[in-house]
Amino acid sequence: MGGKSSKTEDPDNEDPKKPDDNKDKKSDSKSKYMDPDYKGEPLSDDLSNGPVEKRRCTDCLCCLVFLAFAVTWFVVGITGFSEGNPYLLTYPYDSDGNQCGRPGENAEHYDYLYFPFPISGYLDYRVCVKHCPKHYNSTVDCYKIEKFHYTCTFLFENISDAPDPTYGYIKGIYPSDGYLDRFCLPDSDAEVGWVKYGYDEVSDKIDVTVLTKWIGDVWNCWEVMFIVAAIAFVIGGVYMFVLRYCLGVLVWISIIVFWIFLILCASFLLWAAENKYQEDTDKDTRTTLYVCSGIMWGIVGVYFLYILCMCNRIRLAVAIMKAGTLYIRDVWYAMLVPPVFFVVIIAFYIWWVLATLWLYSSGDIKQHGDTAFAEAEWNNDTRNAFYFEFFGILWINAILIALCEFILAASVCIWYFSCGSDHGAQRPISRPIWWAFRYHLGTLAFGSFILAVIWAIKYILMYIQARIKAVNRDGKSKALLLLLRCLTCYVVCFERFVKFLNKNAFIQCALNSTSFCTAARDAFFLILRNGFRFLALGSIGHVFQFLGKWMIAIIATFAGYMIITHASRWSDKLHSPIFPTIVFLLIAYIIASLFMGIYSMACDAILHCFLADEELCKNKDRPPQHAPEMLKDFLDKERKKESKQKCCCCC
């Protein structure tokens, strides 16, 4: 009792020490980060049974800022819809400023813009017509304007400055075709020379015929697009199956083949130096080849030693990549997550394009007599609104990608720690979705904001480069362009680093329910403690993901090409299979990228989970408890090796 009262009755003795204790703690925390041997805090035992279940809201301020920004972004877009009028920009004008086909205007029923005299110097003479004339003797119903001597059904007279004297008196009716439901373009197959010339004048900036045929070819092959998509999914599944059972063999064969390739290159350089350049005049060349050969042999030796030292990490990387295929097999419906987010991103971009168009049309509309379309001149408010909307779509795009990555990462973490259990993974997709929106939206907003700022800087630099190239065609600003290219390159490199850091931070957030800065710090130190393991997984993973993407895309595209060129149902309707094949390649590559993106996230998250499991179990002197089958096999083999002998280069 007396001891207790002595402590409580003299609290003043403790108060002066508290600030000193706090200062000591702060100084200790600062000094430990300066210590080169410091590699992070030990992991919490809360991870022993999987991702933290008792979660807390993280980065709440960032969440509030993002929500306020998103609401403002939508409000600005809605304001553009209420004040803008894109009809002023999308409908063409005749020579008197009447818009052809615009609802509610004088020329509402005259849908097409027609050029009665389609020759350079007279393209500013335009009329609105109901239908495009098909013959020289057609009678055209046009909206009369004051600039012509007669209506468009009669001769044009007194064209004294025509480019050819034969054009002095011509009839303003010629065969034409409708294009985009807006224009009448001269028939390129017409017999009269000036009509052909007029076609070139009107469509000098776009090959209308080719574009129209391409669009028609793609439309005629729309069924094959779904077939190509299905083939891409099937090939992706086959590729996962091959990786599951043959990845180890493929990896070591690739490593040996690349080593043999380096040896052949070094041997060829040495052979060329000794046999091909023996003359005295070739002395410098021979010396250069000897130096290059020596460098190549040095690379061969370093590569061999590197593989010896990394063989254990390579085996671990192979085991983790095999485990990634198991995750896709067990949680196959995770394949639906990226396509759903892809559709959502496309929907946001459609909204942004429409909102930007309406914002653009809310400026001062200027229509000049020599142009068929009007232009908008922005004031400062409109310009600032566009900048705000532009950054908004970058941030929203980045946070949707972050949401997709977090959901997949948390799903993998749940799956990993349920391996070997009887009940399996419990709600591996719905729980991460709830965590993301309920607890960690602020963390995802923080990481995505950094990425959006980097994107904005990159696009600004690219825009400045384009403007300088357009203004200085004589090449006087080469030094400035070189500087901008270098800056853009640095920004792109930093962008890749931030993407890598964000990805690993989101995995740590999924595991530990921590804020972005804490998760990024934990991810950094985890990578620092296991740098070679991350290096092995990253290098091998990137190679096989690259091969997987292009293998899936090329095989699916080739299948689509064979279908449209050999099946009469489609081959008879095509002008050319080239453009549909390009569309097939784009579709197949997008599907392959989504497929391999899930696989990449699975491998990275499994590595994080394995390292956490390993570190926690190492403190308790027992092997990892939750590792999938192939990782347990890897650990069993390593323990057997360690019990026999320890190899200094492969441990």
For the stretch 101-121, pLDDT in tens is 777 777 777 778 777 766 666
CA distance 570 to 633: 52
pLDDT at residue number 186? 73
What mean pLDDT do residues 117-139 have?
69
pLDDT at residue number 575? 72
Q: List, for residues 238-254, the tens digit of each pLDDT value.
A: 888 888 888 888 888 88
φ/ψ region of 515 (left if φ > 0, alpha if ψ in -120 to 50, else beta) reads beta
What mean pLDDT do residues 564-588 have?
82
Comparing CA positions, the residue from 543, 556, 564, 630 lying closest to residue 588 is 556
CA distance 127 to 132: 11
φ/ψ region of 135 (left if φ > 0, alpha if ψ in -120 to 50, else beta) reads beta
What mean pLDDT do residues 622-640 have?
74
Residue 206 has pLDDT above 60, yes or no: no
pLDDT at residue number 121? 60
| Contact between 99 and 107 (Cβ < 8 Å) | yes
| Strand, coil or helix: 225 | helix
**From 9-23, 341-355, 467-481, 564-578, the region with the lowest mean pLDDT:** 9-23
pLDDT at residue number 636? 73
**From 25-34, 266-275, 308-317, the region with the lowest mean pLDDT:** 25-34
| Strand, coil or helix: 475 | coil
According to DSSP, the residues that pair with 364 across neighbouring strands are 377
pLDDT at residue number 313? 84
CA distance 129 to 176: 12
Q: List, for residues 57-83, the tens digit of each pLDDT value.
A: 999 999 999 999 999 999 988 888 887
| Contact between 561 and 577 (Cβ < 8 Å) | yes
CA distance 356 to 362: 10
Which run of H or of E encompasses 89?
helix 87-90
Residue 640, CA distances (Å) to 149, 622, 624, 635 in order: 100, 15, 16, 9
CA distance 44 to 643: 30
- Alpha carbon dihedral 561, 564, 565, 569, in 10-degree steps, equals 170
| Contact between 337 and 429 (Cβ < 8 Å) | yes
Higher pLDDT, 315 or 618: 315
pLDDT at residue number 40? 60
Query: Long-range pairs for 396-400 at CB < 8 Å and ≥24 separation?
Result: 396/70, 396/73, 396/348, 397/345, 397/348, 397/349, 397/452, 398/448, 398/449, 398/451, 398/452, 398/455, 399/66, 399/444, 399/445, 399/448, 400/341, 400/344, 400/345, 400/348
Side chain identity, residue 538: G
| Strand, coil or helix: 100 | coil
- Beta strand pairing call for 375-377 and 364-366: antiparallel
Grade residue 651 by pLDDT with cuts at 50, 70 and 90. very low
pTM of the model: 0.76
Q: List, for residues 282-334, the tens digit of each pLDDT value.
A: 577 778 888 888 898 999 999 888 888 888 888 888 888 888 888 888 888 88
Structure tokens that stand for 106 in this block: 């004088």
CA distance 251 to 258: 11
CA distance 633 to 318: 12
Task: Classify residue 272 by its DSSP letter.
Answer: I
What mean pLDDT do residues 475-499 have?
86
| Contact between 326 and 629 (Cβ < 8 Å) | yes
